[in-house]
């Protein structure tokens, strides 16, 4: 079995000096190494809250802001996003996410606005989502419509539905295109008329509009605003053609994070371009970013257990790897990393090290796919040091293979309020480039 392609490329990681880590992060991680072997996350929820406020400040009044809880469901992060000036609500895809999101909003004194997504909603999940007070269920297939209708009838209520659509073509760039190709998500655009006719025939359903999430990782503000405009035009036209009383258009997330030297999303320009759009009267437009809101609020650290050579390749073996943070090995983002020196080391043990050579950072799982990054040059790395990956606040703990082999799961810590830690910068400039 080969290593993930994204872990094998030469543009997957840049090395930053330890001073690139905020002092509070360095202090907390050093404290961790004195207590236990490190594999875990440090979050500063204030960074996520600041991101939400920044986006909220530029949105037009017709737009609502939701957070896709799948990106980071840590209670402290959800609580920060639910605070004053933050998101309007959460997009959820499971009972656990719905319960956590509802609790965060209620604790903040907010109305628990929840949207539901996901391609395989069984009847029990639909029941749980309605128990949590889900406001709009984004339905992804004809059978799901029938199931939701049955659940609604059993409860003697009407459920608001947004039909998720997989459009035939969308002219917007990103790291991952999710429209116009085979996918388990949503209803293919050619099937929409038939599925809308079914929805209208079923009791207990109120088709309020549509959900389109067709791209991920887009950092082009003008292109993204144009995509939102396309969604609005498509929804209005389709609603007129098929007798839908249009009140809801969810345009998904898809805002891109600058992981390694790229130009970040121009949030102010995005707001300017969105203000040029005019949705149909009475339509609420939902944006539901996940990654963009929380990526910069987290750091992942893994202790170096060993370093070794094998047939000309230098390996850094860490406690964790994709068992703690799978994202670097599964997506083509140029992640940054830092080697944080740790001076505490048992004097009776030899301490192997590597200097100024390309290394491959791997984890502890019994699979060759446990690769974080490959062929990245480090000045020095020793057993006992920490490999730290910034911008690890999205799709980290939730996305990892934590049950495989049964190692202890990654820990999660929160920076103490008042600690000396600034918000993460939008772009992390590389100090050392990856060796071709």
pLDDT of residue 423: 44
Contact 304, 386 (CB under 8 A): yes
Beta strand 284-287 with 63-68 is parallel
Mean pLDDT throughout 146-165? 97
- Enter the DSSP assignment of 356: E
Which positions are catalytic?
A: 366
Neighbouring C-alpha atoms within 13 Å toward the C-beta of 21: 29
Question: Using CA atoms, how far apart are residues 209 and 199, in angstroms rounded to an integer?
Answer: 12
Ordered by where they begin, the domains of the chain are 5-44+297-414 (2.40.37.10), 113-289 (3.20.20.10)
298 forms beta bridges with: 43
SS3 label, residue 212: coil
Contact 282, 249 (CB under 8 A): no
Question: Using CA atoms, how far apart are residues 393 and 390, in angstroms rounded to an integer?
Answer: 8
| CA-to-CA separations, 25 to 88, 207, 387, 413, in angstroms, rounded | 30, 47, 13, 10
pLDDT of residue 7: 45
Question: Using CA atoms, how far apart are residues 91 and 318, in angstroms rounded to an integer?
Answer: 34
Burial of 282 (0-12, 13-18, 19+ CB in 10 A): exposed
Instruction: Give me the chain's average pLDDT, please.
Output: 89
Share of the chain above pLDDT 70, in %: 89
pLDDT digits (tens, 9 = 90+) for 289-311: 999 999 999 999 999 999 999 99
Q: Which residues have a Cβ under 8 Å from the Cβ of 411 and sit 6 or more positions away?
A: 32, 38, 39, 40, 41
- Two structure tokens written together for 254: 């898809």
Band of pLDDT at residue 424, cut at 50, 70 and 90: very low
| CA-to-CA separations, 232 to 235, 244, 251, 279, 359, in angstroms, rounded | 5, 14, 8, 6, 48
Burial of 21 (0-12, 13-18, 19+ CB in 10 A): buried
pLDDT of residue 179: 53
Question: Using CA atoms, how far apart are residues 93 and 151, in angstroms rounded to an integer?
Answer: 17
| Size of the chain, expressed as the number of residues it contains | 436
For 375, other C-beta atoms within 10 Å of its C-beta total 19
Contact 160, 199 (CB under 8 A): no
Neighbouring C-alpha atoms within 13 Å toward the C-beta of 5: 2
Band of pLDDT at residue 192, cut at 50, 70 and 90: very high
Burial of 110 (0-12, 13-18, 19+ CB in 10 A): middle
Share of the chain above pLDDT 90, in %: 78
Burial of 368 (0-12, 13-18, 19+ CB in 10 A): exposed
pLDDT digits (tens, 9 = 90+) for 82-125: 999 999 999 999 999 999 999 999 999 999 999 999 999 999 99
* Radius of gyration in angstroms for the set of CA atoms belonging to the chain, rounded to a whole number: 23
pLDDT of residue 432: 29
Residue 52 has pLDDT above 60, yes or no: yes
pLDDT digits (tens, 9 = 90+) for 245-294: 999 999 999 999 998 778 999 999 999 999 999 999 999 999 999 999 99
More confident: 107 or 423: 107
For 318, other C-beta atoms within 10 Å of its C-beta total 29
pLDDT of residue 417: 63
For 124, other C-beta atoms within 10 Å of its C-beta total 10
Question: Using CA atoms, how far apart are residues 196 and 109, in angstroms rounded to an integer?
Answer: 37
Beta strand 353-362 with 335-340 is unpaired
326 forms beta bridges with: none
Question: Using CA atoms, how far apart are residues 165 and 154, in angstroms rounded to an integer?
Answer: 27
Of 390, 382, 411, 397, the closest CA to residue 318 belongs to 382
Question: Using CA atoms, how far apart are residues 335 and 155, in angstroms rounded to an integer?
Answer: 48
């Amino acid at each position: 079995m080969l290593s993930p392609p994204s872990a094998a490329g030469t543009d997957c990681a840049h090395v930053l000096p330890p001073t690139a880590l905020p002092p509070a992060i360095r202090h907390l991680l050093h404290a961790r190494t004195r207590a236990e072997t490190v594999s875990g996350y440090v979050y500063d929820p204030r960074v996520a809250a600041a991101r939400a406020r920044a986006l909220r400040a530029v949105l037009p009044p017709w737009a609502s802001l939701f957070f896709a809880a799948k990106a980071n469901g840590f209670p402290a992060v959800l609580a920060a996003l639910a605070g004053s000036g933050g998101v309007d609500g959460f997009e959820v895809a499971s009972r656990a996410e719905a319960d956590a999101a509802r609790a965060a909003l209620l604790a903040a004194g907010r109305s628990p606005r929840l949207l539901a997504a996901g391609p395989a909603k069984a009847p029990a999940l639909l029941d749980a989502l309605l128990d949590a007070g889900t406001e709009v269920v984004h339905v992804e297939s004809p059978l799901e419509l029938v199931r939701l209708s049955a659940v609604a009838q059993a409860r003697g209520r009407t459920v608001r539905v947004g039909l998720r659509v997989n459009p035939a073509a969308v002219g917007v760039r990103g790291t991952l295109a999710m429209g116009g190709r085979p996918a388990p998500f949503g209803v293919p655009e050619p099937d929409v008329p038939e599925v809308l006719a079914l929805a209208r025939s079923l009791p207990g359903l109120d088709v309020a509009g549509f959900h389109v999430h067709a791209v991920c990782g887009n950092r082009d503000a003008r292109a993204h605003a144009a995509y939102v405009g396309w969604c609005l035009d498509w929804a209005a036209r389709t609603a007129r053609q098929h007798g839908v009383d249009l009140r809801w258009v969810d345009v998904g997330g898809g805002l891109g994070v600058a992981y390694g030297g790229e130009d970040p999303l121009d949030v102010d320009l995005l707001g300017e371009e969105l203000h040029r759009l005019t949705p149909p009267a009475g339509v609420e437009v939902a944006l539901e970013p996940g990654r963009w809101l929380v990526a910069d609020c987290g750091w992942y650290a893994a202790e170096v257990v060993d370093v070794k050579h094998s047939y000309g390749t230098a390996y850094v073996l860490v406690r964790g790897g994709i068992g703690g943070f799978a994202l670097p090995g599964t997506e083509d983002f140029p992640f940054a990393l830092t080697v944080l020196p740790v001076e505490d080391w048992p004097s009776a043990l030899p301490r192997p090290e590597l200097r100024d050579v390309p290394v491959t950072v791997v984890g502890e799982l019994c699979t060759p796919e446990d690769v974080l990054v490959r062929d990245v040059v480090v000045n020095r790395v020793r057993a006992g040091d920490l490999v730290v990956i910034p911008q690890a606040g999205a799709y980290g703990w939730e996305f990892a293979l934590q049950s495989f082999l049964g190692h202890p799961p990654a820990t999660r810590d929160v920076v103490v309020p008042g600690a000396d830690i600034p918000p993460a910068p939008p772009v992390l400039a590389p100090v050392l480039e990856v060796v071709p």
